[in-house]
């Protein structure tokens, strides 16, 4: 898996390059600007970030933004430079593909603060946070396990990169926990958004026996097909309940504002330090699940109990033993992977059916 | 295994329909001598407009009609540029493409990823008395059915009617057609509009039948594939059905294999459209007849006073 290795290597290099003692960046008067991959109203990835932008605007005044910025270094740098030339001093972007451009800009402007949601690059003044989406997906997997009758689930995802692989793996582990023997069919769409293809994959999964369809994509297209076929579904990024009111179990949702509001407040106070590429868990509220529906109340209570344990820090999704598809032990019993190991995930767990190569 | 096969075969027509509609539309264009590269833009305009109208509560039929209207509007702009103003057709097509993508993104801003009812196959099977495989193929939504009838109608009109004869004459040798009393500009503009209607329906098929939502950029190159399929089907609407079915079959196989849990390499997905193109080129090459099927006057603006 070349992409995974490359991402891992890049990450390792960046972590190694980051100075041990990180300087603090003080921004007495934050002038924030946002760079979006999609449109601010795309109903998914960028909209979840726009919610955070609006929260910041309430606290710090108008927050300008630019939409539809492609994952090309020169285009991203143009957008960043434009904001900086207008006095922007806190630049917040939101895509994995912006990582190089943000690193270059952070180096060129050491006195300004940069945050790139879902990026993989870091510097003393650049942080790339990501939610522990696997916590939400584990809970969603538990719900899917309770709901399924055929013991077959379907999940579609963008690309087989580590932070996507942990979504499918945690979903499968959650389903395994509540309904042993459940398998998850996996399909990589090879795009972050291709609703026509997503609907077609959803249809095919249902035809082959899946009765819960989960999407790791931006659009609810897969859920619409499941709803029409009378099947259950799980949404992502925002609460997708409106697209599948009769079949949705929950959605794994982002609340970026819970990370960004404290970060900008710390910048203002002069206490902000880049954490590198930190993961924000369900205890911070940056990731969570939408209200659980369409499963019995005692099942909901059991899922909520696990959620509480996650918040208290006494439940680790990745507690061993975890075996991959070939039966190889990836996480031995009694241990759990480090964050670095998570960022290098390159396997599918044993109850996932399908290939990532 | 049999179930996989049945599901695969049953899903082919809906995969093929948008390609078939757009290809048939472009065949009308090109047989009249107009090279239209704007299909992607026309499809996007129709896709967004039909979703917006359905979201506004106007019902699917009116939504589809509005989508056709929006696509037709863009096709008319292209037609005026390419036929009456005799702008270079490639440039005019690219303008229509860019305009359609831009305006559709603008119109759909704020309405992305919102579900509409759209068009679905009838619940249950209308053909339950037939063998399962055949019933699966026949149980399609009405817009997919329409695509295949439309392609047959396009073939019949172009190849078997006087109207089609004049249309072909305009595309093969515009001065000769003009000398014979055929209004070249009128025929070409009419062909652009008729082709625009079919491309627009292709776009509406993507959003109303395929995804039930609008997302910026959701046509995702399917209009360009249709441009290529015109050449592959050698400007013949019946061959376009074969091309679209073959293309749809390969495209439809991927999700079936993926969801069956078989180990299909992700790279196979990326490769499959090109594999389909290659396969079709091979077949087309093996059975090609002597003469070149490309309309002789394709892409050449016509001006009566111009020396040729």
Tell me the per-residue pLDDT of B41-83, one tens digit each, with 9 for 90 and over. 999 999 999 999 999 999 999 999 999 999 999 999 999 999 9
Token pair for A326: 């070939």
Question: Phi and psi dihedrals of A248, rounded to 5?
Answer: -75, 135
Q: Is A42 on the interface with B (CB under 8 A)?
A: yes
Relative to beta strand A329-331, strand A322-323 is antiparallel
- Determine the 3-state secondary structure of B140 from DSSP: coil
Which one of B113, B216, B264 has the shortest CB-CB distance to A355? B264
Q: Is B15 on the interface with A (CB under 8 A)?
A: yes
- Pair A117, A92: CB distance under 8 Å: yes
Relative to beta strand A152-157, strand A329-331 is unpaired
Percentage of chain B exceeding pLDDT 70: 96
- Pair A152, A308: CB distance under 8 Å: no
Cβ contacts (< 8 Å) between B212 and chain A: which residues? 199, 221, 224-225
Please list, residue by residue across A265-289, b when 16 or more beta carbons sit within 10 angstroms of its beta carbon and e when fewer do.
ebbbeeebebebbbbbbbebebbbb
Relative to beta strand A322-323, strand A183-188 is unpaired
ipTM of the complex: 0.83
List the one residue out of B7, B10, B17 whose CA is nearest residue B247.
B17
Which one of B113, B258, B263 has the shortest CB-CB distance to A218? B113
Q: Is the CB of B266 less than 8 angstroms away from the CB of A160? A: yes
pLDDT band at B112 (very low <50, low <70, confident <90, very high): confident
pLDDT band at A225 (very low <50, low <70, confident <90, very high): very high
Disruptive mutation site among B215, B248, B268 for chain A (greatest number of A CBs within 10 Å) = B215
Cβ contacts (< 8 Å) between B15 and chain A: which residues? 200
pLDDT at A25 (0 to 100): 82
Neighbours of A52 (CB within 10 A): 23
Tell me the per-residue pLDDT of A272-328, one tens digit each, with 9 for 90 and over. 999 999 999 999 999 999 999 999 999 999 999 999 999 999 999 999 899 999 999
List the one residue out of A161, A288, A142 whose CA is nearest residue A212.
A142
pLDDT band at A1 (very low <50, low <70, confident <90, very high): very low
Tell me the per-residue pLDDT of A171-222, one tens digit each, with 9 for 90 and over. 999 999 999 999 999 998 888 888 988 999 999 999 889 999 999 998 899 9
- Determine the 3-state secondary structure of B179 from DSSP: helix
Query: What's the CATH number for B2-110+142-286?
Result: 1.10.3470
List the one residue out of A58, A63, A69 whose CA is nearest residue A32.
A63
Domains of chain A listed by start with CATH number: 2-131+256-280 (3.40.50.2300), 133-254+287-353 (3.40.50.2300)
- Pair B81, B93: CB distance under 8 Å: no
Token pair for B90: 């490639």
pTM flag (> 0.80): yes
Strand partners, A65: A34
Tell me the per-residue pLDDT of A78-128, one tens digit each, with 9 for 90 and over. 999 999 999 999 999 999 999 999 999 999 999 999 999 999 899 999 999
Q: Is B17 on the interface with A (CB under 8 A)?
A: no
pLDDT at A19 (0 to 100): 44
pLDDT at B289 (0 to 100): 64
CA separation for the pair A220, A245 (Å, rounded): 12
Residue A23 has pLDDT above 90, yes or no: no
Instruction: Find, in chain A, the residue whose alpha carbon is nearest to that of B269.
Output: A190
In the block, which residue shows the tokens 């943000």?
A: A102
Tell me the per-residue pLDDT of A180-194, one tens digit each, with 9 for 90 and over. 999 999 998 888 888
Q: Which of A91-105, A151-165, B141-155, B243-257 has the lowest mean pLDDT?
A: B243-257
CA separation for the pair A135, A316 (Å, rounded): 8
- Give the mean pLDDT of A238-242: 92
Tell me the per-residue pLDDT of A41-73, one tens digit each, with 9 for 90 and over. 888 899 999 999 999 999 999 999 999 899 999
Q: Is A310 on the interface with B (CB under 8 A)?
A: no
Average pLDDT, chain B: 90
Residue A18 has pLDDT above 50, yes or no: no
- Give the mean pLDDT of B159-177: 95
State how far Cα A195 lies from the chain centre.
19
pLDDT at B128 (0 to 100): 81
Relative to beta strand A248-254, strand A287-289 is antiparallel
């Amino acid at each position: 898996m070349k992409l995974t290795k490359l991402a891992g290597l890049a990450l390792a290099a960046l972590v190694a390059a980051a100075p041990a003692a990180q300087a603090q960046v003080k921004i007495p008067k934050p002038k924030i600007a946002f760079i979006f991959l999609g449109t601010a109203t795309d109903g998914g990835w960028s909209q979840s970030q726009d919610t955070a932008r609006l929260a910041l605007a309430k606290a710090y005044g108008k927050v300008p933004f630019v939409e539809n910025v492609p994952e090309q270094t020169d285009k991203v740098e143009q957008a960043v430079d434009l904001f900086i030339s207008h006095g922007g001093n806190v630049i917040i972007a939101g895509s994995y593909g912006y990582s190089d451009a943000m690193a270059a800009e952070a180096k060129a402007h050491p006195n300004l603060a940069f945050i790139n949601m879902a990026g993989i690059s870091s510097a003393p003044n650049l942080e790339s946070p990501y939610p522990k989406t696997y916590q939400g997906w584990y809970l969603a997997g538990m719900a899917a396990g309770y709901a399924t009758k055929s013991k077959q689930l379907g999940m579609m995802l963008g690309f087989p990169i580590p932070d996507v692989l942990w979504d499918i793996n945690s979903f499968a582990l959650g389903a395994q926990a509540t309904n042993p023997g459940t398998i998850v069919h996996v399909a990589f769409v090879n795009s972050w958004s291709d609703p026509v293809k997503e609907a077609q994959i959803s249809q095919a999964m249902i035809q082959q026996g899946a009765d819960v369809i989960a999407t790791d994509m931006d659009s609810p297209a897969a859920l619409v097909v499941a709803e029409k076929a009378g099947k259950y579904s799980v949404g992502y990024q925002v609460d997708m309940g409106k697209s599948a009111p009769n079949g949705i179990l929950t959605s794994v949702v982002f609340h970026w504002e819970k990370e960004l509001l404290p970060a900008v407040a710390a910048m203002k106070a002069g206490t902000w330090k880049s954490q590198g590429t930190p993961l924000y868990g369900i205890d911070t509220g940056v990731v969570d699940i939408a209200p659980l529906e369409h499963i019995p109340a005692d099942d909901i209570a059991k899922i909520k109990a696990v959620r509480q344990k996650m918040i208290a820090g006494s439940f680790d999704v990745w507690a061993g033993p975890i075996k991959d598809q070939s039966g190889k032990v990836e996480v031995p019993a009694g241990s759990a992977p480090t964050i670095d190991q998570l960022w290098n995930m390159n396997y599918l767990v044993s109850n996932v059916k399908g290939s990532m190569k | 295994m049999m179930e996989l096969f049945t599901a695969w075969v049953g899903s082919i027509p809906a995969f093929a329909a948008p390609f078939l509609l757009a290809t048939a539309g472009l065949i009308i264009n090109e047989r009249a001598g107009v090279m239209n590269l704007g299909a992607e833009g026309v499809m996007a305009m129709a896709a967004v407009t039909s979703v917006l109208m359905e979201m506004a509560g106007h019902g699917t039929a009116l939504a589809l009609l509005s989508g056709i209207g929006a696509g037709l509007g863009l096709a008319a702009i292209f037609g005026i540029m390419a036929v009456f103003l005799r702008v270079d057709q490639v440039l005019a097509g690219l303008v229509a493409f860019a305009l359609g993508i831009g305006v559709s993104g603008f119109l759909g801003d704020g309405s992305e990823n919102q579900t509409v009812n759209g068009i679905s196959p009838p619940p249950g099977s209308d053909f339950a008395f037939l063998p399962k495989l055949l019933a699966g193929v026949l149980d399609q939504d009405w817009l997919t059915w329409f695509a295949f009838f439309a392609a047959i109608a396009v073939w019949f009109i172009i190849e078997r009617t006087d109207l089609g004869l004049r249309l072909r004459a305009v595309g093969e040798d515009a001065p000769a057609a003009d000398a014979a009393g055929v209004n070249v500009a009128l025929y070409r503009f009419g062909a652009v509009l008729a082709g625009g209607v079919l491309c627009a329906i292709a776009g509406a098929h993507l959003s109303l039948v395929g995804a039930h939502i609008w997302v910026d950029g959701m046509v995702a190159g399917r209009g360009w594939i249709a441009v290529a399929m015109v050449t592959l089907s050698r400007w013949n609407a019946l061959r376009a059905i074969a091309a679209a079915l073959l293309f749809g079959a390969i495209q439809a196989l991927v999700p079936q294999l993926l969801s069956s849990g078989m180990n299909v390499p992700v790279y196979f997905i990326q490769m499959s459209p090109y594999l389909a193109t290659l396969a079709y080129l091979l077949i087309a090459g093996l059975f090609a007849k002597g003469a070149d099927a490309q309309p002789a006057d394709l892409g050449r603006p016509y001006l009566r006073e111009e020396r040729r």
